[in-house]
Amino acid sequence: MSRKVLSVLLATAMTASLLVGCGGSAAPAADAAAPAATEEAAPAATEEAAPAATEEAAPASDEGAGMKVGVAMPTKDLQRWNQDGANMEEQLKAAGYEVDLQYASNDVQTQVSQIENMINGGCNVLVIASIDGESLGTVLETAKAANIPVIAYDRLIMGTDAVSYYATFDNYMVGTKQGQYIIDTLDLNNAAGPFTMEVTTGDPGDNNAKFFYNGAMDLLKPFIDEGKIVVKSGKYDFDSVATQSWATENAQSRAENILSSFYADGTDLDIWLCSNDSTALGVENALAANYKGKYPIITGQDCDVANVKNMIDGKQSMSIFKDTRTLAAQVVKMVGQILKGETVEVNDTETYDNGKGVVPSYLCEPVFADINNYKEILLDSGYYTEADLQ
CATH number at residue 160: 3.40.50.2300
pLDDT 10s digits, 197-212: 999 999 998 889 999 9
- Do 117 and 208 fall within a single domain? no
Low-confidence ranges of the chain (pLDDT < 70): 1-64
Q: How many domains does the chain have?
A: 2
- Do 273 and 353 fall within a single domain? no
Q: What is the DSSP letter of 389?
A: G
246 domain-assigned: yes
- Do 120 and 212 fall within a single domain? no
- Do 78 and 36 fall within a single domain? yes
- Do 164 and 216 fall within a single domain? no
378 domain-assigned: no
- Do 24 and 165 fall within a single domain? yes
- Which residue among 263, 294, 321 closes a domain? 321
pLDDT in the model for residue 61: 54
What domain range includes position 301? 171-321
- Do 162 and 237 fall within a single domain? no
* CA atoms in the 13 A half-sphere facing the CB of 147: 6
Question: Where are the alpha helices (H) located in the chain, listed in sequence order?
Answer: 2-11, 79-94, 108-120, 137-145, 171-186, 207-225, 238-241, 248-262, 277-290, 305-312, 324-339, 374
Q: Contacts from 84-87 at CB under 8 Å and sequence distance 24+?
A: 84/129, 84/153, 84/154, 84/324, 84/327, 84/328, 86/50, 87/54, 87/324, 87/325, 87/327, 87/328
User: Distance between CA atoms of 96 and 340, rounded to whole angstroms?
Assistant: 14
- Do 313 and 331 fall within a single domain? no
pLDDT in the model for residue 384: 95
pLDDT in the model for residue 3: 40
- Do 138 and 260 fall within a single domain? no
pTM: 0.77
Task: State phi, psi for 318 to the nearest 5 degrees.
Answer: -160, 165
Other residues' Cβ atoms within 10 Å of the Cβ of residue 138:
11
